[in-house]
Structure 1
Amino acid sequence: MLGPAGVSGAVSNNVESYQRDKLQAAGLAGFQCVIGSDSAGAPKPHSAPFLAGCAALKSLPAHTLYIGDNPINDYQGAMDAGLQSVLLDRASFHKNFPGWRVKALGSLRTVLS
């Protein structure tokens, strides 16, 4: 998730400690916050993890962008929590969902540049 002034966080359905270790191992430890289903009290698509991430980033949901690759847990969950949302659809798996506002991205660089 991206908040104002480029602050970033990760929201996961994994437990927070596991996700922190996973991000560290992948060389992606630079997030200002990491929210797990355990620390949020509920898994995605519930609004709790998204709102916990916004609180940790000190960002209003409407001013926060969430990028995820699952149409229900990520995209719709973030939208329902009041965040702006982009579905990362690298392989165009979800382009035929009727009614979904799906944005196909080849890379996160497209959003960040």
Structure 2
Amino acid sequence: MLLDLDGTLMDHDRAADAGLRAWLPSLGLEATDAEVARWIALQEPHLAAWRAGRISFAEQRRRRLRDFLGTDGSDAELDAVFAGYLAHYERGWRIYDDVADALAVIAEAGLRTAVLTNGARTQQLRKLAAIGLGHLDPVFTVDDLGVAKPHPDAFRRACSRWGLAPGEVLSVGDNHELDVLGARAAGLRAVHLDRLGGSTETARVASLTELKDHLR
């Protein structure tokens, strides 16, 4: 089983929200819902450029800061500012309550697990260790594969390195486009983890503990 990390194993949204609200006052900004929403809205365009290989991971952070603050600065200055947010964000890293039970069910079914994440390898390994999942292996990242989800090659390369055919692997994640549609395009089976509800996907679960109905 190929598991996503952020939003699937770790509660990224809660950590990001708490981190932002603690960090914004240090910039002289109010931690309002509007400011949080503006930061989140600026994230995806720059992450998309990084996933496409047009900019580095560090550069996508800098560009997000430039857009958010409406100012510029040297790379070193922007990196220092972003480090303030990261410090607060990292304090909020938490595992979802359903993960331990789900991993136990998967293990009992005799299935192997791996992680496929669009994050940078160093940070994602630190996340897994921080939330008590450092034992999960292998972990495939954009840095390893040279391509990001939802590109089918991200899934194909992960399966190849894992020594499994795509048709033998089930992808599970919270992002329908990245974790489900991309996986199916590569020949994997896929289930949408729809924690918030509202998905029209037929192969969906509201909690990882419901995965037992999709194991075979």
Deviating above 6 A after TM superposition, structure 1's stretches of 4 or more consecutive aligned residues are none
Tell me the C-alpha RMSD between the 2 structures: 2.0
1:23 to 128, 138, 157: 128
1:44 Cα shift?
0.6
- The TM-score, its normalising length taken from structure 1, stands at 0.83
> Partner residue of 2:14?
none
Residue 36, structure 1, aligned to residue 136, structure 2: no
1:62 Cα shift?
0.3
> Partner residue of 1:76?
181
Distance 1:74 1:25, change over 3 A: same
> Partner residue of 2:198?
93
CA distance in 2, matches of 1:42, 1:70: 17
1:93 counterpart SS class: coil
How many residues are aligned here? 107
5+ residue gaps, structure 1: none
Which protein has the bigger strand share? 1
- The TM-score, its normalising length taken from structure 2, stands at 0.46
1:52 to 157, 170, 176: 157
Conservation of the 8 A alpha-carbon contact between 1:65 and 1:84: yes
| Identity fraction in percent | 31
5+ residue gaps, structure 2: 4-108
1:102 Cα shift?
4.1
Which protein has the bigger helix share? 2
Matching residue's letter, 2:117: S
CA distance in 2, matches of 1:8, 1:51: 16
2:207 counterpart SS class: coil
> Partner residue of 2:208?
108
Conservation of the 8 A alpha-carbon contact between 2:159 and 2:165: yes
Q: Which structure has the larger Rg over C-alpha atoms?
A: 2
Conservation of the 8 A alpha-carbon contact between 1:47 and 1:80: yes
